[in-house]
Amino acid sequence: MLLREVEYAKPSSVAEALTMLEANDGARALAGGQTLINVMKARAASPDVLVDLNGLDELKGIELGADGTLSIGPMTTYAELIDSAEARARPILADVCSQIADVQVRNRGTIGGNLCSSDPTNHLPPLMAAVGAELTITGPRGERTVPAADFFLGVYMTAVEQGELLTRISVPAGKRDGFAAVTLGVEGTCIVNAAASASGALRVALGCVDAVPVLIEADSPDEVREGVRAARLRPPNDVHASSEYRAHLAEVLAERAARQAVGA
Ligand SMILES: Cc1cc2nc3c(=O)[nH]c(=O)nc-3n(C[C@H](O)[C@H](O)[C@H](O)COP(=O)(O)OP(=O)(O)OC[C@H]3O[C@@H](n4cnc5c(N)ncnc54)[C@H](O)[C@@H]3O)c2cc1C
């Protein structure tokens, strides 16, 4: 049998989804399923109930506010964001989404699922940390907003608690951004990635070097490498790259992303 037996529920509103998630500790939200179904197949997770968020229009769509802030529904797919006229207000978002895996994954995978997976090799956690996104979490006690820098708590762990949902992603206005990655082949998983924003103070967020994105602040791209060294990274060592090689890439990619952000 491919999957252990699991119940399936398709709520018709966010309120109904929250009631289902709160009623059962073993219930999990299902977005694009690109991560969740694979970890279920590998028996690394075995939820009792899948609460399918597909079809909840409240969790979809991209709106551009008068001040340039983008409000993105977590069930927006990468493909929808890439095609969105509104999302062009912050071009790095579509640039990075178009680098994620292949067309099948981009058609099914969602922005919210990417963030809630908190997979250290994913593209979007460092990007959201660098651009200063704010994430709205809704649960039985109401809504709260968490800066992206505080959202990721560990591998597969985020500020979203059992019985809660990520319901909105808010990205402030800005165009001075950069992103650089070394991947396992074309369209492959990142070995190290770096996202930078110079809309305001220069911020670089590194992915794949720790359980959560590592934020570096610097006055200029010339100082970014020193900032990375000062963070005393101890990246993972695996079949794809040694810890030393990842630490070296972190410096190179952080500087590359920072130079792209400032247009140098
Ligand atoms: C072959 C392949 C290659 C890939 N390569 C990359 C890559 O290079 N870069 C990259 O970034 N990603 C990559 N991915 C991962 C992909 O982007 C996934 O789509 C993404 O990580 C999860 O999004 P999803 O919509 O499929 O979420 P799901 O798999 O449905 O859910 C993931 C987790 O998030 C939770 N969740 C989802 N939405 C919410 C919500 N609104 N509120 C609370 N919890 C929620 C679920 O309960 C689950 O725990 C790859 C996936 C595959 C299959």
Q: Structure pTM? A: 0.97
pLDDT digit string (tens) for 201-219? 999 999 999 999 999 999 9
169 lines ligand 1 (CB under 6 A): no
74 lines ligand 1 (CB under 6 A): yes
pLDDT digit string (tens) for 176-201? 999 999 999 888 899 999 999 999 89
DSSP state of 164: -
Between the alpha carbon of residue 41 and those of residues 4, 35, 37, 53, the distances in Å are 8, 10, 6, 20
Return the residue whose CA atom lies nearest to atom 36 of ligand 1: 113
List phi, psi (to 5°) of 258: -65, -40
Q: Which residues of 147-181 are buried (b: 16+ CB within 10 A; e: fewer)?
A: ebbebbeeebebbbeebbbbbbbbbbebeebbbbb
pLDDT digit string (tens) for 121-176? 999 999 999 999 999 999 999 999 999 999 999 999 999 999 999 999 999 999 99
* Ligand 1 pocket test target in 3, 99, 116 with most atoms within 8 Å of CB: 116
Between the alpha carbon of residue 192 and those of residues 55, 117, 164, 207, the distances in Å are 34, 17, 30, 6
Mean pLDDT of the residues in the chain = 96
